[in-house]
Amino acid sequence: MTRRLAALALTIGIAWFVVTGPQVDSVLRPTALALGLALIAASISGELLERLHLPRVTGYLLFGMICGPYLANIITRPMARELQLINGLAVVLIAFIAGLEMNVRRLRPRLRAMIELGGIAMLVMYIGLFTVFWLVWPWLGIAPDLTGLQRIAVVALLTTVVASFSPTVTIALVAESRASGPLTELTLAVVILADLLLILFFTLVMQFVRTAFGGPQEIGLFVSLSWEIFGSFAFGASIGAVFAFYLRHVGREVPVALLGLCAIIAGAGARLHVEPLLVALAAGLVVENVAPPRGDMLKEAVERGALPVLVIFFVAAGASLQLDALATIGGIALAVSGVRMAFIWLSVRIGVRYARIDPKIGGLVWMGLVSQAGVTLGLTLIVAGEFPTWGATIQTLVVSLIALHQLVGPVLFRAALGRAGEIGRLGGDVLGIEEQLDTQPVRAD
């Protein structure tokens, strides 16, 4: 461990020397430096946290937060921005991995119970949160003067955003823990179902808010909504089929092909108005369930890529945690966070009872639903952009909530996975297997 701590100190020292050194007037991007720092220093931080029985990903997050622009500023604002660019690829790869882990044949016997749990949990949570927000509206400081339809609309919007989960963080934690079992499958099913419902609800509620505030209405609302959900799945399935064909009939340079696949999905998101997360999930599902590749080439490529991707994703998330927002609105955020967690617990409890799921496992699912991240942030950006007056206050509140839930969520979920005995049950190892050294000659080109 001494060597690792020395390496950690040296790496941070080098980065600090470079970043604070005499600046050259150039157009250079700091991406590679940020990437190197994140990979080395955050990996060691993750290992340190693991020794304290906390998730590695919390170590990556804390490293990003501490070294990020709001505290030590070793990862400067431009560096954090550059890491966010890589984040797009990371989200896609994480969702693709989730798709690969979902074997429909294996899940089919429990599919109905999963859908029931997810549906009921979301319904109870929406009703509960809506009621609470309606009652405490004057004290939330968002737009206390609103009344009638406008207040209903904005409360519904706030409920939708606050009720959202983070499929990416949940999937990432499952990948990092190599978790497998009923709790893992149940939690993944609920977060993915919730993500689909979130897109649906958010689009509907935004339309309601526009109507309430006398804004323009989108005629093609349901067309665009259908496209975002079904188009994503269709596009993902097609691209997954092409990738499966490549794996079967070409099978060369699989890591490059996988990187290319992720880049295409990440890039296509904005252009085709599809949800990259759903696209990648569908692609993974097709590869796993329709045309699984022969041999271990994909497994090896995914396992090699998973760890660096997870590290970068969480460091970027940590570095972009807006701690100033938390400082501004911390008290209210803590209260809202407490209410949210209480409703997650309650709604899952009701859902588990209705769907007749083993309470030993079902009772732990709520711990996997606490995290919030990119999807939620994206929604608040849309709200703040369209309704700058009260939308900006919602954004500040939700950003604070994300900061809190990013830190608490992974810890809770890891604890739940540990309690269910599912950590490390997946075949293989995200950290790979030992390999024999070779002494082949080295060539630069």
Partner 1 sequence: MTLAGLPGRVSSVFRTRAALGLRPFTAPVMVFIPLGIALGPGALGIIPEVALAHLDIVISIALATLGVFIGIAAGREARGAGRLLAAATAEAGVTILVVAGALFVLLHSWALPLEMSFLLVALALGVCASASAAPAVEGADSRGAVQIAARVADLDDVMPILLGGAVLVMAGPSVRPALLSTVQTIGLGLAIGFGGWLLVERAHVAAERGVFVLGAVAMLGGAPAYMALSPLLAGMAAGLFWVAAPGNCDAIVARELRKVQHPIVVLLLITAGAGLELTMAGIWLLAPYVIFRSAGKILGGWTASRIAPGIAPSDLGAYLVHPGVIGIAFALNLQQVGNESATALVFAVAVGAIASEALALVVMPSSRAA
Neighbours of 20 (CB within 10 A): 11
Residue 24 or 219 with smaller CB distance to partner 1: 24
User: Which of 164, 195, 173, 206 lies closest to 94 in space, CA to CA?
Assistant: 173
Residue 276 and residue 262: Cα distance in Å, rounded?
9
DSSP annotation string for 179-225: --SHHHHHHHHHHHHHHHHHHHHHHHHHHHHHHHTT-PPPTTHHHHH
* 402 touching partner 1, by CB under 8 A: no
Residue 228 and residue 224: Cα distance in Å, rounded?
6
Residue 119 or 255 with smaller CB distance to partner 1: 255
User: Which of 327, 324, 363 lies closest to 344 in space, CA to CA?
Assistant: 363
Binding-site size, partner 1 (CB under 8 A): 60
Q: Which of residues 302-361 bind partner 1 (CB under 8 A)?
A: 303-304, 306-308, 311
The nearest distance, CB 1 to partner 1, in angstroms, is: 9
Q: Which of residues 50-109 bind partner 1 (CB under 8 A)?
A: 82, 85
Binding-residue pattern over the window 231 to 260 for partner 1, x denoting contact by CB under 8 A: ---------------------xx-xx--x-
Residue 28 or 52 with smaller CB distance to partner 1: 28
Query: Contact region for partner 1 (CB under 8 A) — 15-23, 122-130, 192-200, 321-329?
Result: 15-23
Residue 104 or 270 with smaller CB distance to partner 1: 270
User: How far, CA to CA in Å, does 283 sit from each of 104, 111, 202?
Assistant: 14, 20, 24
Residue of 19, 71, 241, 297 that binds partner 1 (CB under 8 A)? 19
The nearest distance, CB 242 to partner 1, in angstroms, is: 16
Residue 122 and residue 343: Cα distance in Å, rounded?
10
Query: Contact region for partner 1 (CB under 8 A) — 30-38, 151-159, 173-181, 232-240?
Result: 30-38
The nearest distance, CB 423 to partner 1, in angstroms, is: 16
Residue of 28, 108, 147, 214 that binds partner 1 (CB under 8 A)? 28
* 14 touching partner 1, by CB under 8 A: yes
The nearest distance, CB 332 to partner 1, in angstroms, is: 38
Residue of 27, 51, 145, 249 that binds partner 1 (CB under 8 A)? 27
Residue 307 or 365 with smaller CB distance to partner 1: 307
* 433 touching partner 1, by CB under 8 A: yes
Query: Contact region for partner 1 (CB under 8 A) — 28-36, 132-140, 240-248, 272-280?
Result: 28-36
Binding-residue pattern over the window 145 to 174 for partner 1, x denoting contact by CB under 8 A: ------------------------------
Residue of 39, 102, 297, 415 that binds partner 1 (CB under 8 A)? 39
Please answer whether residues 127 and 369 qualify as being in contact, where contact means their C-beta atoms are separated by less than 8 angstroms. Answer: no
User: Which of 393, 409, 405, 416 lies closest to 337 in space, CA to CA?
Assistant: 405
Furthest C-alpha separation in the chain: 76
Residue 1 or 52 with smaller CB distance to partner 1: 1
H helices present in 21-110, as ranges: 31-37, 43-51, 56-67, 77-101, 104-107
Token pair recorded at residue 374: 């990119």
Residue 233 and residue 226: Cα distance in Å, rounded?
10
The nearest distance, CB 63 to partner 1, in angstroms, is: 13
Please answer whether residues 198 and 443 qualify as being in contact, where contact means their C-beta atoms are separated by less than 8 angstroms. Answer: no
* 119 touching partner 1, by CB under 8 A: no
> Could you report how far apart the first and last alpha carbons of the chain are, in Å?
36
User: How far, CA to CA in Å, does 383 sit from each of 210, 274, 393?
Assistant: 11, 19, 10
* 438 touching partner 1, by CB under 8 A: yes
Which residues lie closer than 8 Å to 147 by C-beta, 6 or more apart? none
Please answer whether residues 94 and 175 qualify as being in contact, where contact means their C-beta atoms are separated by less than 8 angstroms. Answer: yes
Query: Contact region for partner 1 (CB under 8 A) — 19-27, 205-213, 239-247, 324-332?
Result: 19-27
Residue 164 and residue 19: Cα distance in Å, rounded?
37
Residue 145 or 435 with smaller CB distance to partner 1: 435
Residue 341 and residue 322: Cα distance in Å, rounded?
21
Binding-residue pattern over the window 274 to 303 for partner 1, x denoting contact by CB under 8 A: -----------------------------x
The H-or-E segment that residue 177 falls in is: helix 167-177
Residue 127 or 431 with smaller CB distance to partner 1: 431
User: Which of 169, 180, 161 lies closest to 408 in space, CA to CA?
Assistant: 169
Residue ranges binding partner 1 (CB under 8 A): 3-4, 6-7, 10-11, 14-15, 18-19, 21-22, 24-40, 43-44, 82, 85, 252-253, 255-256, 259, 303-304, 306-308, 311, 429-435, 437-445
